[in-house]
């Protein structure tokens, strides 16, 4: 796949995730709309029907699991924390809507996991014992065992289970 075609496919997958999340919100009675292009830190603006509660959602989308089953993040996500900001991690396991899963995770939880895991990864020597080089890339994972080791892992396999399709937590914040 050519680089431009790859970027187009990535953009389409991201748009599909955003529209899927909007559809989930609208079906649950929320007012939801795409944020303006280039809006920092959120993709969807959400409100209750009466407008008294508003929140923002950033959508991260993947298709299939990949090697580590995670989502791409960046260094900025270590510091984006707001009680009214959530991430929706969308997994289009296949082309079937029935196979789609969404994890709705508070921004503080995401920031903590991304920040702690990256700091731990940086502090751990590479495969040849070398100091790792920092970059802006981060990963949000359903299991951080490869980063922390089995005994010290604060984010073991299953830690994201309480967030699967947990749309109710949005209502709990207002």
Q: Is 20 helix (H, G, I), strand (E, B) or coil?
A: helix
pLDDT tens column, 99-120: 788 999 999 999 999 999 999 9
Q: Looking at residue 50, what is its pLDDT?
A: 85
Q: Give the pair of three-digit tokens for residue 102.
A: 């969404």
pLDDT tens column, 48-72: 888 887 899 999 988 766 677 888 8
Q: Give the pair of three-digit tokens for residue 151.
A: 């005994």
Distance CA 56, CA 44 (A): 6
Q: How far is CA 47 from CA 22, 34, 62, 67, 166, in A?
A: 12, 12, 26, 36, 17
Q: Looking at residue 2, what is its pLDDT?
A: 52
Whether the predicted pLDDT of 152 surpasses 80: yes
Residue 92 neighbours by CB distance under 10 Å = 18
Run of H or E residues at 58: strand 54-62
Distance CA 158, CA 10 (A): 27
DSSP label at residue 136: S
Q: Looking at residue 49, what is its pLDDT?
A: 84
Percentage of the residues of the chain whose pLDDT score is greater than 90: 57
Q: Which residue has the tokens 């580590």?
A: 68
Distance CA 82, CA 80 (A): 7
Q: Give the pair of three-digit tokens for residue 7.
A: 């970027």
The model's confidence at residue 29, banded by pLDDT at 50, 70 and 90, is very high
Distance CA 88, CA 107 (A): 10
pLDDT tens column, 69-86: 888 899 999 999 999 999
Q: Which residue has the tokens 């959530």?
A: 86
* Among the ranges given (10-14, 42-46, 151-155), the one the predictor scored with the smallest mean pLDDT: 10-14
Average pLDDT on 1-12 reads: 65
Q: Looking at residue 86, what is its pLDDT?
A: 97
């Amino acid at each position: 796949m050519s680089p431009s075609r790859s970027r187009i496919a990535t953009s389409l997958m991201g748009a599909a995730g955003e529209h899927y999340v909007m559809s989930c919100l609208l079906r649950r009675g929320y007012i939801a709309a795409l944020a303006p292009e280039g809006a920092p830190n959120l993709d969807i603006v959400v409100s209750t029907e009466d407008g008294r509660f508003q929140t923002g959602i950033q959508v991260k989308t993947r298709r299939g699991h990949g090697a580590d089953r995670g989502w791409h993040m960046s260094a900025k996500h270590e510091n984006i924390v707001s009680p009214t900001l959530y991430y929706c991690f969308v997994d289009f396991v296949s082309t079937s809507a029935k196979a789609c899963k969404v994890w709705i995770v508070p921004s503080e939880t995401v920031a903590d996991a991304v920040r702690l895991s990256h700091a731990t990864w940086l502090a751990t020597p590479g495969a040849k014992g070398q100091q790792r080089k920092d970059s802006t890339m981060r990963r949000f994972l359903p299991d951080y065992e490869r980063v922390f080791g089995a005994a010290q892992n604060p984010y073991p396999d299953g830690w994201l289970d309480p967030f699967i399709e947990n749309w109710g937590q949005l209502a709990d914040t207002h």
